[in-house]
Amino acid sequence: MSRLTINDVARAAGVSKGAVSFALNSRPGVAPETRARILRVARDIGWTPSSRARALSVSRALAVGLVIARPPDTLGADPFFPSFIAGLESVLSERGYALLLQVVANDDRETPSYRRLVDEGRVDGVFLTDLFMDDPRPALLAELGLPAVVIGPALGDGIWPAVGVDDAPGIIGAVEHLVALGHSHIGHVAGPRGMVHGHSRQQAWSGALLRAGLAPGPSIEADFSAESGAAATRQLLDLAEPPTAIVYANDLMAMAGMSLAQSRGLDVPRDLSITGYDDTEIAAHLQPSLTTVSTDVIEWGRAAAKRLLELIDTQPPTDIMLPPAQLVVRNSTGPVRADLQGRTKTTHRRRQTTRGARRMEKQ
């Protein structure tokens, strides 16, 4: 029963409610021993300031919002959010902030959602996720005067700070790993080019090929869903010269692609090497286990939360260093088949079955 108010504390401590407020927020003007007494009384009777009342008087919501603009079914398969939210929470809660969640269909471009949050004064700032290349949201929020932090690669418009793990090192790592295994014909299944993280991973991929001195391989745009990953893989394998390795923009598409390849009788990694991105829990337990790129999503969430709170408090931004994405090499990648290595025009036909000599999962 939070029937207790600051008045009860004031009365019990024999001071005015103003004094209690001062003591609680450790502001000057209260004698040390009085402060101690007030705090002790407050603790003894078990009083916690009402954040409702606080929010009203400080004209702050003491909450920040995370608006997720995706169709819920796509969402379900994304391992990103739960961990990310855990990271956010760990910072927010110790600062007395709450996290408000909103999931909206992404076809309404969620403008009304933000408007409502800010109109109703529910949040002091928001995290922006799943940004499109020409997304109206940053400008909208600037206009509304609501602080925001962009999650993901920087947008380049400089309106809001971006907090993200650079996609490039991970993708480059994957490409270099494949090149080292002898692959020279590497395909890519990308996320939507219209979305910033789809775009940036795509960029990272072509940059990495360039660095490796390889010709640009075939790249197919998908939408991060299993369905689209399978379809894209089908297209790549149907090419006159199918790639010997495929770099996927996320694990889900990679899994779907791997299954599709296997259903066609290809052996992974003997006939086709595959890399994912995310390092989902299941990745290590697939057959073969999936070589993928791992990022510390929890730390990412922590960083984003810190940044947003700084922005809200108009504090100077601190340097936030995120650990770079790291390639985790497992068993879905292997040396290119000798008969396919460096081939130019020869097409490789599918092999029926290659069961047997298969590297076992470590563990």
Partner DNA sequence: AGCACCACCTAAACCGGTTTAGGTGAGCTT
Partner DNA sequence: AAGCTCACCTAAACCGGTTTAGGTGGTGCT
Q: Tell me the C-alpha distance between 327 and 117, whole Å.
A: 39
Name the token pair of 243.
Answer: 């790639």
Binding its own copies (rule: CB under 8 A), the pick from 287, 315, 318, 347 is 287
Q: Tell the residue number behind the tokens 């969620």, with chain if given.
A: 110
- Among its own copies, DNA, none, partner that 230 touches (CB below 5 to 8 angstroms by kind): its own copies
Give how many residues touch its own copies by CB under 8 A.
76
Give CA separation, 73 vs 69, 231, 293, in Å: 12, 18, 23
Q: Tell me the C-alpha distance between 150 and 304, whole Å.
A: 8
Between residues 82 and 136, which has the closer beta carbon with respect to its own copies? 82
Give me the 34-53 binding string for its own copies, x by CB under 8 A, dash otherwise.
Answer: --------------xxxxxx
Q: Residue 160 contacts by C-beta under 8 Å, 6 or more apart in sequence?
A: 128, 138, 141, 142, 147, 148, 149, 150, 311
Dihedral, CA of residue 11, residue 17, residue 19 and residue 25, to nearest 10: 120
Binding DNA (rule: CB under 7 A), the pick from 1, 11, 12, 14 is 14
Binding DNA (rule: CB under 7 A), the pick from 50, 315, 347, 354 is 50
Give me the least distance between CB of 63 and DNA, in Å please.
16
DSSP-assigned letter for residue 327: E
Q: Tell me the C-alpha distance between 292 and 178, whole Å.
A: 12
Question: Does 24 interact with DNA (rule: CB under 7 A)?
Answer: yes
Question: Does 11 interact with DNA (rule: CB under 7 A)?
Answer: no
Question: Does 314 interact with DNA (rule: CB under 7 A)?
Answer: no
Question: Does 140 interact with its own copies (rule: CB under 8 A)?
Answer: no
Binding DNA (rule: CB under 7 A), the pick from 11, 17, 109, 115 is 17
Give how many residues touch DNA by CB under 7 A.
34
Pick from 74, 210, 61: nearest CA to 130: 74
With 0-12 CB in 10 A as exposed, 13-18 as middle and 19+ as buried, what is 128? buried
Give me the 51-70 binding string for DNA, x by CB under 7 A, dash otherwise.
Answer: -xxx-xxxx-----------
- Among its own copies, DNA, none, partner that 14 touches (CB below 5 to 8 angstroms by kind): DNA
- Among its own copies, DNA, none, partner that 128 touches (CB below 5 to 8 angstroms by kind): none
Give me the 303-332 binding string for its own copies, x by CB under 8 A, dash otherwise.
Answer: ------------------------------
Q: Cα angle at 324 between 322 and 326, to 5 degrees? A: 145
Pick from 56, 61, 44, 45: nearest CA to 2: 45
Q: Tell me the C-alpha distance between 29 and 19, whole Å.
A: 9
Question: Does 29 interact with DNA (rule: CB under 7 A)?
Answer: yes
Name the token pair of 322.
Answer: 């995120």
Give me the least distance between CB of 289 and its own copies, in Å please.
8
Between residues 97 and 224, which has the closer beta carbon with respect to DNA? 97
Question: Does 4 interact with DNA (rule: CB under 7 A)?
Answer: yes
Question: Does 103 interact with its own copies (rule: CB under 8 A)?
Answer: yes
Question: Does 229 interact with its own copies (rule: CB under 8 A)?
Answer: yes
- Among DNA, its own copies, none, partner that 158 touches (CB below 5 to 8 angstroms by kind): none
Q: For residues 143 and 296, is the Cβ–Cβ distance under 8 A?
A: no
Check the CA dihedral 272-277-279-282 and report its sign.
negative
Between residues 13 and 297, which has the closer beta carbon with respect to DNA? 13
Question: Does 259 interact with its own copies (rule: CB under 8 A)?
Answer: yes
Name the token pair of 354.
Answer: 């290659």
Question: Does 79 interact with its own copies (rule: CB under 8 A)?
Answer: yes
Binding DNA (rule: CB under 7 A), the pick from 1, 28, 240, 353 is 28
Residues that bind DNA (CB under 7 A): 3-7, 14-22, 24-25, 27-32, 34-35, 47, 49-50, 52-54, 56-59
